[in-house]
């Protein structure tokens, strides 16, 4: 399903918008900013991310390509030191964190992917065919379909606003470390390892924008994003970097 996208790149860092595209080129090593950053890492490829199926709470492993993507992402972040690292509880994110070099990442339930309920395991094309019109998840949500035992174990799924509330809690926790309110001298970088839609909602929370704006932030598997501050405002310093 075509979507208008936004790509913000760091000078000298290639951004790749093709989800799940595999590359053999050497990883770009991202250079840390002078000031603390909130760094986002989407998990590597799974079978469903490759096929375009919405993967919410279904706990799929990484593909071999996805495992390699996670290692490349770790190499891209090799110059960073993180004061705190958090990961989604779902296997694909925890394994990505481990392969990227962060096996001790703290599991945080607020980083779990959007609970898609009846949309889980389905492609946008599948849902569009059932609705008789184009399905736009950031506008329609997932409760556009009735609960189904076959998809999402009969759960209704989360609303977009509920996902945004979880993302806001995570941002608040991260900012304690970013601002240096944990007893250390000055702030430190924070890494979040999570999922495509959750992270797209999280960036809208970071910007203080409508969460529906997340539809404009394309995010490839194992992509890295850099959030920071400028002129006392939360900013995007790099988006969809080093995507595989």
Residue 16 designated active-site: no
- β-sheet with 106-107: strand ranges across: 106-107, 82-87, 189-194, 38-42, 224-230, 233-241
Gyration radius (Cα) of the chain, Å: 17
Question: Chain-centre distance of CA 6, in angstroms?
Answer: 15
Residue from 113, 158, 218, 237 carrying the catalytic annotation = 113
Q: Distance between CA atoms of 179 and 186, rounded to whole angstroms?
A: 7
d(CA 85, CA 87): 7
CA distance linking residue 45 with residue 244, whole number of Å: 9
Q: What distance lies between CA 111 and its chain's CA centroid?
A: 9
Contact between 200 and 8 under an 8 Å Cβ cutoff? The reply is: no
Is 7 catalytic? The answer is no
Q: How far is CA 167 from the centre of its chain?
A: 11
Residue identified by tokens 């599948």 is 126
Cα-flanking dihedrals φ and ψ of residue 68, to 5°? Answer: -65, -40
- Select which of 43, 54, 195, 197 is catalytic: 43
CA 23/CA 25 separation, integer angstroms: 6
> How many Å apart are CA 105 and CA 154, to the nearest integer?
31
Which residues are part of the catalytic machinery?
A: 43, 113
């Amino acid at each position: 399903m075509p979507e208008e996208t936004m790509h913000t790149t760091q000078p000298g860092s290639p951004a790749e918008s093709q989800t799940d595209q595999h590359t053999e080129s050497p990883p770009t090593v991202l250079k840390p900013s002078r000031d603390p950053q909130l760094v986002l890492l989407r998990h590597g490829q799974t079978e469903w991310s490759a096929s375009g199926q919405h993967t919410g709470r279904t706990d799929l492993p990484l593909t071999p390509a996805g495992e390699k993507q996670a290692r490349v992402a770790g190499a891209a972040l090799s110059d960073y030191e993180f004061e705190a690292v958090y990961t989604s509880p779902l296997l694909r994110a925890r394994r990505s964190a481990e392969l990227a070099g962060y096996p001790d990442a703290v599991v945080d339930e607020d980083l779990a992917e959007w609970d898609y309920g009846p949309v889980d395991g389905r492609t946008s094309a599948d849902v569009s065919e059932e609705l008789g019109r184009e399905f736009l998840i950031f506008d329609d949500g997932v409760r556009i379909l009735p609960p189904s035992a076959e998809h999402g174990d009969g759960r209704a799924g989360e609303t977009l606003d509920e996902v945004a509330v979880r993302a806001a809690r995570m941002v608040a926790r991260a900012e304690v470390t970013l601002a240096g309110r944990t007893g250390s001298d000055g702030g430190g970088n924070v890494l979040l390892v999570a999922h495509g839609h959750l992270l797209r909602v999280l960036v809208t929370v970071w910007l203080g924008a409508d969460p529906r704006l997340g539809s404009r932030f394309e995010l490839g598997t194992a992509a890295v994003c850099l959030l920071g501050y400028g002129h006392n405002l939360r900013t995007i310093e790099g988006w969809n970097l080093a995507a595989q």
